[in-house]
Amino acid sequence: MAPSGLALFWACVIAFAILIYTILDGFDLGVGILFGRTRDESLRVQMMNTIAPFWDGNETWLVVIGAGLFAAFPDVYAVFLSAFYLPVLILMIGLIFRGIAFEFCFRSLRMRRVWDRGFSLGSTVVAFVQGAAVGAMLRGIPVVDGHYAGGAFAWLHPFSILTGVGLVLGYALLGAGWLVLKNEGPLRDWAYRRIPWLAAAVLIALLLAFCITFDYSLVARNGLQVRPWGIVFPLIGIAALTAVVFGVRGKRDQIPFVLSVVFFLVSFLSLGVMFWPYMIPYSITVGSAAAPDASLQFLFCGAIVVLPVILAYTISVYWIFRGKLHKGEISLL
């Protein structure tokens, strides 16, 4: 079934929201993951400050994804959330716990250790289940009569563990790039030291996952045969990460973060090239899942007003808090 123009519009909106979410919440989750790797109090405080103005805004994109899927692709919304019942539960609890930890870890001396642990553990778990969900999707979701037909732990498989760990490393790489971008002094050096190792580990994990998927999935092979130009995306990804591994000690602090973002972008596009038009491999396509045009049209009227505002707001927050964070200098609106 060919998707209508409105269905394509909504598919683009959701794909865009997922990409933005992955990059934005990716770096702040990544900082949370790295937070657990140091005991130095001044580094930890600095890390928190680096993501403080952004992290809750980043999470709003998750709700745009959820609400958009429910409205525009109810079948995907229903099947995805039933298939990932436990990961979604872990995701919710991880996000809530991380949020509380962020708010309270400076308020209470007694509970300090618990909140610090909660912050790094929550971030890691959230990243892991997101990556594992991608892995489980690549393996395919069993769907019978339009409903999810598997168990609660079907998503847990060595391959999805690989992608889960891969995403934890990938977010940590984004986070390290962000720390370099926003800081000077010891924290920047601390992050610089970790970047080559992280980039190498991500490269290995993702290449492995790519080869396994290519070997396993007829759809993915077919996708690349139909769209041979798509091969440039994985190649750009490999080039970007290699550049991060070897070129990290350059003069410009933007480079590691920008290249990591490029890597995430092309990885996402590679998935698109391989699996289009499937939204849930190998059963639900963009055309088959789309709500009737009457629904898509109705929400379209709101979306053309709201989405630019959310986008403009996001950009303005990042613009206001641009540049390095200097010690003692407090950036506020």
Residues that bind other proteins (CB under 8 A): 41, 45, 48-49, 52-53, 56, 59-60, 62-64, 66-72, 74-75, 77-83, 85-86, 88-89, 92-93, 95-97, 99-100, 102-104, 106-109, 146-152, 291-292, 294-295, 298-299, 302-303, 306, 309-310, 313, 317, 330-333
The pair of structure tokens assigned to 138 is 């690549």
**144 beta partners:** 147
Of 231, 269, 261, 270, give the one whose Cα is nearest residue 243. Answer: 261
**Of 61 and 233, which CB lies nearer to other proteins in the complex structure?**
61
Contacts of 14 (CB under 8 A, 6+ apart): 65, 68, 69, 72, 73
Q: Where are the beta strands (DSSP E) in the chain?
A: 143-144, 147-148, 278-280, 284-285
Q: Please, are residues 19 and 268 in contact by the beta-carbon 8 Å criterion?
A: yes
The pair of structure tokens assigned to 166 is 């891969």
The pair of structure tokens assigned to 83 is 């298939």
Q: To the nearest whole angstrom, how small is the minimum distance from the Cβ of residue 229 to other proteins?
A: 34
**Of 68 and 170, which CB lies nearer to other proteins in the complex structure?**
68
232-236 LR contacts (CB < 8 Å, sep 24+) = 233/266, 233/267, 233/269, 233/270, 233/273, 234/210, 234/266, 234/267, 234/270, 236/262, 236/266
Q: To the nearest whole angstrom, how small is the minimum distance from the Cβ of residue 262 to other proteins?
A: 27
**Of 19 and 262, which CB lies nearer to other proteins in the complex structure?**
19
Side-chain half-sphere of 254: how many Cα atoms within 13 Å?
4
Q: To the nearest whole angstrom, how small is the minimum distance from the Cβ of residue 218 to other proteins?
A: 26
Chain centroid, CA 135 distance in Å: 13
Q: To the nearest whole angstrom, how small is the minimum distance from the Cβ of residue 49 to other proteins?
A: 4
Q: Please, are residues 310 and 68 in contact by the beta-carbon 8 Å criterion?
A: no
The single-letter code of the amino acid at 256 is P
Distances from the Cα of 3 to the Cα of 11, 230, 291, 297, angstroms: 10, 21, 10, 14
**278 beta partners:** 285
Q: To the nearest whole angstrom, how small is the minimum distance from the Cβ of residue 287 to other proteins?
A: 15
Q: To the nearest whole angstrom, how small is the minimum distance from the Cβ of residue 58 to other proteins?
A: 12
**Of 48 and 174, which CB lies nearer to other proteins in the complex structure?**
48
Q: To the nearest whole angstrom, how small is the minimum distance from the Cβ of residue 221 to other proteins?
A: 29
Q: To the nearest whole angstrom, how small is the minimum distance from the Cβ of residue 11 to other proteins?
A: 15
CA angle at 322 for the pair 321 and 327, rounded to the nearest 5°: 75
How many CB atoms sit inside 10 A of residue 170's CB? 28
Q: To the nearest whole angstrom, how small is the minimum distance from the Cβ of residue 285 to other proteins?
A: 15
